[in-house]
């Protein structure tokens, strides 16, 4: 496909201008957070173990008991996370068909990420602070991982994507 064909296709797939300013920073921050999540899932899918205990001992045990099944599942998770991180960027720059559909999906995904990441960050930190005491105890490393790493990263991903979506609404200057 030559350059002019690609430009015509970009004009047809998106009526919005390419993101600028803070909206662009939000979009790329969301993409980076999602790709970081995806990279760890892929790393674990390929047999890596670093930080796996911050997900939970169940993940460590499952990885040891059924490495092929776990690897395939985590590979699919990595692919889904990577797609969720990259598609909003591609759609924003007119490089992916049906930008309106992906924008709607991105709104839903951003809200889910904010609610999921936010709630789990708060609850995990409350457990670590002793404000919540699970009757059956808890996995300290996994709780630390969810309180300080994985769920705040989901929250960042969602907030950044939400920021981009708000700043890039039609008729709004997103500088």
What is the percent of the chain with per-residue pLDDT over 70, rounded to a whole number? 87
pTM (two decimals): 0.85
**116: in domain:** yes
Q: Is residue 56 part of a domain?
A: yes
Residue 173 pLDDT greater than 50, yes or no: no
Is residue 121 situated within a structural domain? yes
Q: Per-residue confidence at 18, pLDDT binned at 50, 70, 90? A: confident
Q: Could you tell me if residue 10 is inside a domain?
A: no
Q: Is residue 41 part of a domain?
A: yes
pLDDT surpassing 80 at residue 14: no
- The CA distances from residue 68 to 15, 16, 72, 73, 74, in Å, are 45, 44, 6, 9, 10
Highest mean pLDDT among 25-39, 44-58, 59-73: 25-39
Question: Does residue 133 contact residue 108 with C-beta atoms inside 8 Å?
Answer: no
Indicate whether 175 belongs to any domain.
no
**Once rounded to an integer, what is the mean pLDDT over residues 95-117?**
96
Write out the residue range of the structural domain in which residue 124 sits.
20-167
């Amino acid at each position: 496909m030559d350059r002019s064909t690609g430009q015509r296709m970009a004009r047809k797939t998106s009526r919005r201008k390419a993101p600028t300013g803070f909206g662009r920073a939000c979009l790329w921050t969301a993409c980076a957070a999602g790709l970081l999540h995806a990279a760890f899932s892929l790393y674990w899918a390929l047999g890596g173990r670093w930080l796996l205990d911050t997900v939970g001992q169940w993940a460590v045990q499952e990885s040891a008991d059924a490495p092929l099944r776990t690897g395939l599942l985590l590979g699919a998770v990595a692919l889904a996370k990577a797609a969720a991180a990259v598609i909003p960027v591609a759609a924003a720059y007119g490089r992916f068909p049906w930008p309106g559909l992906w924008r709607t999906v991105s709104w839903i995904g951003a809200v889910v990420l904010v609610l999921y990441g936010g709630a789990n960050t708060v609850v995990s930190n409350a457990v670590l602070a002793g404000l919540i005491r699970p009757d059956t105890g808890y996995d300290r490393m996994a709780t630390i991982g969810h309180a300080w790493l994985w769920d705040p990263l989901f929250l960042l991903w969602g907030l950044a994507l939400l920021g981009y979506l708000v700043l890039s609404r039609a008729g709004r200057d997103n500088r």
